[in-house]
Structure formats: structure tokens, C-alpha cells
Amino acid sequence: MKKTVFSIFCIMIALAVGAVPASAKDKVVVYTSLENEEVVDYLELAKKDLPDLDIQAIRLSTGELGARMMAEKDNPQADCVWGWAVTNMAEFVPKGMLTVYRPAGWDKIPAKFKDPDGYWTASDTYEAALVVNTKVMEEKKLPMPKGWKDLLNPVYKGMLIMPNPASSGTGFLQIASLLVLMDPDYKNKPVEQNKAWDFLKELDKNMGQYIKSGSKPAKLAAAGEYAIGCSFAFVYASLKKQGFPVSLVLPEEGVGYELEANGLLKGAKNEKAAKKFLDWAIGESAMKRYATFKLGVTYPGSRTSGSAGL
């Protein structure tokens, strides 16, 4: 009996000793709206580059991330935000929810890609696009659109899908870019008087569904559930590599693009670890990995075959 108790005691000690390296890691909780595929890929690299950090990333859609931050304003549950649309990030500066932090290498990032006071730093950009299922188009004898206005054709009724701008950064990007593209005088009038709203009302007649995800419209179109998904260019490249019958259309009227940025949350419980992660997030190693997915990255010279550069 004594031998058994002693053996169990030894096993417990061994387990405790073995657990020391893991418990010695500094935890950092990260909120992100990057695509799941990106998060998995980037974190694999981050864990190699930052072996002393226990990185706990929570992925939320753009709107959900903002709502969660507001709900936790008086008691932040995350330490930093990674890969969130700048248009959303910037709104949280006057709310007093971000704190100034200029990560290592901040000076290398061009001024147009960072907040001058250091509240946020952009790492990459993505571009709005139409993802078309060529098989569905052929089977239903649908014409290939060249731009946004072509989508008003009644033959597309129920065959279109786009992200909801209230929850998706991609959806917001698409609406915002149309407001600029379709009304040259947009700066001199209230937004509710913008000419693009008439276009959007007509487009709604052909829309099959609005969905909270920015990538889901492309994925559902690729699966054949819809003919055309209003999404963004990165997800098209991923679907094409997987063998789906998809084609990319960059609307002839023009398309919008968005920057994705990182920032340190005010009241972060793990500030030291968060700063170390944010240093990595705009470093050369991370930027080169982003460039395999994105239209472009903000770190000079990090362009790859998967990136159009900036």
C-alpha cells in the first residue's frame, strides 16, 4: 500500500514538473476578425516565433468584435485587437478603449498605415470583389457581370448573396465604397441623400440573402447555392486553389479596400505579453506570412507571389 501511495506521489510530482514550462508562459488574450483560415496559419507561425507566450485568440466577425468590446468596456477580457478593420478600430479611440503603443518597428511602417498618435497600426489590406460560380452561370445561362450595375439585371433575382454591413466589415466596405463611387458629390451632402441608396434599393430586389460573414457569400457561391457572392479577393484565391469553379470579378465602376489593424486595449490584464505580441504582429516574419493571403501588407519589402503589394 505504501509503495502504491509513493508511486502516485511520484507521478504527481513528475506531472507538476512537466507542467512548469507551460505554466511559465505569459498569457495574452487576442480578439481578431481575421478569417479562420488566416488565424490558424498565422498562429502556427506566432507560436514558433513567440514560444514564451500562451496566445489565446478569439475570432469574431467585425460587428461582433466591436459589440463584445463595448460590453466589456469596464472590465476588458482581452488584451489586444489583431487584424480588425481600421474603420472600426478608429471609432474606439475617442471612446477611450485603446491605449497608445508603438510596437517595435513602428517607424518602418509608412505614416498612411498607422495612427499618428500610435493608437493603432495597420498590417495589411483586403479588397472587395465579386466571386462568381462559373458552373451555375453556365447551367442557368446567366451573363457574366462586369460591374455592380450589371447585378440589377432581373435574371439574377435570388441568385446574389452579400454580407450584412451591420455585422460584417466586408459588407460595410462594399456599401461605403458604393456611396463614394456612385455619388461624386458625396462629401457635400448628408449620407442619407447619397445617390447610391437608389441603386442599393434596386439591388435588394435581386438579393437572395444577407449574411453576417464577409467570406461566406463567396463560399456559398462556390458551393453552388448562389451564382454570385459579394465578398473579397483573398477568399476567391483560396477557393480557386481548392478546385471550386469560381471566377473573380473586380467591378468596372471600382472597388473599395480596407486596412486591417492592431491595437492595445486600455486596461489590458496582460499588457507586457500583449505588447510582445503586437511587436510580432507588425514584424517582418508575420508580414511575409500575411502577404501569402492578402492584397498587400504595410511592411516595406514584404511582397510575395501571393500579394499585390501596397
Say yes or no: 231 and 263 in one domain. Answer: no
The answer as to whether 276 is a domain residue is yes
Q: Give me the CATH number covering residue 47.
A: 3.40.190.10
pLDDT tens-digit series, residues 30-41: 999 998 989 999
Q: Are residues 119 and 130 in the same domain?
A: no
User: Which pLDDT score is estimated for 294?
Assistant: 85
pLDDT at 238 over 90: no
The answer for 254, left when phi > 0, alpha when psi is -120 to 50, beta otherwise, is left
Mean pLDDT of the chain: 88
What's residue 302's pLDDT? Answer: 58
Any idea what the Cα angle at residue 35 is, between residues 98 and 288, rounded to 5°? 80
- Judge if 117 and 183 occupy the same domain: no
- Looking at the fold, whether 130 and 81 belong to one and the same domain comes out as no
Q: Which residue has the higher pLDDT, 21 or 139?
A: 139
In angstroms, the CA 295 to CA 126 distance is: 5
Higher pLDDT, 218 or 11: 218
**Spatial CB neighbours of 203, under 8 Å, sequence gap ≥ 6:** 148, 151, 152, 160
Quick check: 29 pLDDT over 90? yes
% pLDDT > 90, the chain = 73
What would the DSSP string read from start to end of the chain? -HHHHHHHHHHHHHHHHHHHHHHTSEEEEEEE-S-HHHHHHHHHHHHHH-TTEEEEEEE--HHHHHHHHHHTTTS-S-SEEEEEEHHHHGGGTTTT-EE----TTGGGS-GGGB-TTSS-EEEEEEEEEEEEEHHHHHHTTPPPP-STGGGGSGGGTT-EEEE-TTT-HHHHHHHHHHHHHT-TTGGGS-GGG-THHHHHHHHHTTEEEEES-SSHHHHHHHTTS-SEEEEEHHHHHHHHHTT--EEEE--TT---EEEEEEEEETT-TTHHHHHHHHHHHTSHHHHHHHTTTSSEESSTT---TT----
143 plus 251 within the same structural domain = yes
Q: Domain check: are 189 and 214 in the same one? A: yes
User: Per the domain annotation, does 16 fall within a domain?
Assistant: no
Task: Read off the pLDDT of each residue in 84-105 and give the average, rounded to a whole number.
Answer: 95
Give domain status of residue 11, yes or no: no
Number of domains in the chain: 2
Question: Do 275 and 238 belong together in one domain?
Answer: no
Burial status of residue 264 (CB atoms within 10 A of its CB: 0-12, 13-18, 19 or more): buried
| CA angle, 42 then 45 then 49, to 5° | 135
- Residue 1 is assigned to a structural domain of this protein: no
Residues 93 and 31 reside in one and the same domain: yes
For range 236-264, the mean pLDDT = 92
- Both 269 and 234 in one domain: the answer is no
Distance CA 260, CA 39 (A): 13
Q: Is residue 119 part of a domain?
A: yes
Give 125-134 pLDDT, tens digit per residue.
888 899 999 9
Mean pLDDT of 70-74: 95
Residue 12 forms part of a structural domain = no
Predicted confidence at residue 126, as pLDDT, reads 84
Residues 80 and 115 in one domain: yes
Q: Does residue 138 carry a pLDDT above 60?
A: yes
Based on the domain organization, do 147 and 247 belong to the same domain? yes
- The span from the CA of 82 to the CA of 34, in Å, is 8
Could you tell me if 218 and 231 are in contact, meaning their C-beta atoms sit under 8 angstroms apart?
Answer: yes
12 pLDDT band, cuts 50/70/90, is very low
308 domain-assigned: no
Please indicate, yes or no, whether residues 82 and 228 belong to a single structural domain of this protein: no
Residue 36: domain span: 24-124+259-297
